[in-house]
Structure 1
Amino acid sequence: MADKPAPHVIAREDWAETPGEWHGEVQGFGGEVSLIFVRAEPGKGPRLHSHPYPETFIVRAGRALYTIGEQEIEAGPGQILVVPAGVPHKFRCLGPELLESIDIHASERFITDWLE
């Protein structure tokens, strides 16, 4: 029987940019994915961009307006959105509370083509 690979574990203090806040990133987690832990204020979010791999958004708290291709989708806690590879997308926090999400990039490193 072949040995199973060990699980990958990263402590919060190793990815959080500010202790106690849900904000930071990890590239190459498990050698297969990269993660962004978003904490966005109302009206804030990244400008239009795309990736050559899929990106998955898991909304933890707050609300955001996601533009994915030609669609606009308002999402809140517990919703999951998947953006196919190559599709332009962006989001902005709608407020009044902060947006917290986990953004999963299906790549060992971030590759972003900024479109605006």
Structure 2
Amino acid sequence: MSRRDFDPATVTPDGRPPAKAKLFDGSVPGPYRGSVNGEVLGTGITVLTYGNDEPGIGPVLHVHPYDEVFVIQQGRARFFVGDEVIDAEAGETVLGPAGVPHRFVNLGPGRLQTVDIHLSPRWIQTNLE
């Protein structure tokens, strides 16, 4: 599929160099294996990785002052976003809008693995449980 969504001649590079940061160490146990603040990469997004092997387990109810996008890489999850309940599986994405409390749990069977994209240069969170 060929795409041409914009004219490259209309974009001027802002002078930032390419950047690299380690997101996680696969040998580290626990559900939160790592994060990269956008500040490290010189961008406005922060990336986290989350995973667990136990159905019914997930992060506590929390809220952010910015949007969060969840990318389900493996398994199935049930998201509680405000008053909505959303079931999602590998290959799907879920939006947690700014200011809306949310949490999710592994639906099983097997591992749930997500990449969580915070639309902020820093991870900012208030736990509500």
User: Do both share a fold (TM > 0.5)?
Assistant: yes
Q: Secondary structure at the match of 1:15?
A: coil
Give the one of 18, 23, 40 matched to 2:52. 40
> Structure 1: which 4+ aligned runs deviate by more than 3 Å?
1-4, 17-23
Q: Given the alignment of the two structures, is residue 30 of structure 1 paired with residue 38 of structure 2, yes or no? A: no
Q: Given the alignment of the two structures, is residue 99 of structure 1 paired with residue 112 of structure 2, yes or no? A: yes
Greater radius of gyration (CA): 2
Identity among equivalent positions (%) equals 38
Structure 2 partner of 1:56: 69
Q: Given the alignment of the two structures, is residue 88 of structure 1 paired with residue 85 of structure 2, yes or no? A: no
* Conserved? CA contact 2:23–2:47, under 8 Å: no
**More strand by percentage:** 1
Q: Secondary structure at the match of 2:16?
A: coil
* Conserved? CA contact 2:82–2:100, under 8 Å: yes
Q: Given the alignment of the two structures, is residue 7 of structure 1 paired with residue 18 of structure 2, yes or no? A: yes
| TM-score normalised by L of structure 2 | 0.77
Give the one of 92, 116, 127 matched to 1:79. 92
Q: How many residue pairs end up in the alignment?
A: 113
Gaps (5+ residues) in structure 1?
none
Gaps (5+ residues) in structure 2?
1-11
